[in-house]
Amino acid sequence: MSPGATPDRGYFPRERSVLREVHEQRAVGLLYGQRALGIGAIAPLNFVGTRLHTKALGTPFNRLAHTAKWFEQIYFGSREQADAVLGAVGRMHQRVQGTLPADAGRFPAGTAYSAMDPELMLWTVAVIADSARYFYELLVRRLSAEEKESLWQDYVRFGELFGMPRDGAPTSYRAFREYWHGQLAGDRVHLTAEARHTGHAIMFQIPVPRTRRPSMPVHNLLMLGSLPPRVRELYGLRFTAAHSLAFRGAATAVREGLRRAPAAIRTGQNEGFFELVARTEQGMIARGQPIPGALV
């Protein structure tokens, strides 16, 4: 860096970005992406469009890990690092366009989709924003009204980096919540058989080494309890009073455990874990084991 040059602190500098504070919590980073993809799958134009243009149908967790690492480069990296990711994603998105091959809920076969459609881009940002905020408040602390507003504005900026027009996004956090609840209650949501298969696996069947498996029931309980009732209904997931009680107990235990943990455990990037999941999936493939959520 030349003398007097301004340090490159990225698009979300720590001292003024609530988004960065939220995503620097490892617990958020380990959970939000799975919930976002599970909920995101109920939008058929988004899901079918992505499915028809991905080369990773047989390796859903490698794709999840790759996306998660890319997003962390945008959240935490320099602008140069983020721009490299954004350029690669932009080139992929340019190819994601076409028409539905079959009816999907209210959308008939032949309905056009495009990754650059502002409405579809907003939904992608929305599921990320709601999921990260949810797990941060569940496992770390409640955000103030001002922090929620700042967080939403950070997510609008995040969407803009991918090409989402600002005037296509809700202008305030309150408007975002109205949009969010309207989407979940509306007639645009529909879970195709393939979306149910992949979305359920992403949320509840993440491949991890044997040593990590004892923690998965708690992981899955937190995921189940975090889902909006309409989403659980679409997936056919039961959530009884006993589930609710266990969910609250698990969330409290995790939250208190994290509070006592050293900062180096609580905060930071999750690249190592994402790579662990991808390696576990690759090991399953090498052994001829079926991959949860894979499509052929």
CA–CA dist 270, 164 (Å, integer):
26
- Tell whether 219 is covered by a domain: no
- Tell whether 282 is covered by a domain: no
Q: Which residue has the tokens 């879970």?
A: 191
Into how many domains does the chain fold? 1
Mean pLDDT of 269-279: 95
- Tell whether 189 is covered by a domain: yes
- Check: CB of residue 224 under 8 Å from CB of residue 240: no
Per this entry, what is the length of the chain? 296
- Tell whether 284 is covered by a domain: no
- Tell whether 65 is covered by a domain: yes
Decide: helix, strand or coil at residue 13: coil
Percent of the chain with pLDDT over 70: 97
Closest among 267, 228, 221, 272 to 248, alpha carbons compared: 221
- Tell whether 285 is covered by a domain: no
Per-residue pLDDT of 56-68, as tens digits, reads 899 999 999 999 9
**Surface-to-core class of residue 278, CB atoms within 10 Å of its CB (0-12 exposed, 13-18 middle, 19+ buried):** buried
**Surface-to-core class of residue 236, CB atoms within 10 Å of its CB (0-12 exposed, 13-18 middle, 19+ buried):** exposed
- Tell whether 191 is covered by a domain: yes
Which residues form the domain of 181?
18-213
Residue 185 predicted with pLDDT over 60: yes
- Tell whether 150 is covered by a domain: yes
Per-residue pLDDT of 24-59, as tens digits, reads 999 999 999 999 999 999 999 999 999 999 888 999
Per-residue pLDDT of 248-272, as tens digits, reads 999 999 999 999 999 999 999 999 9
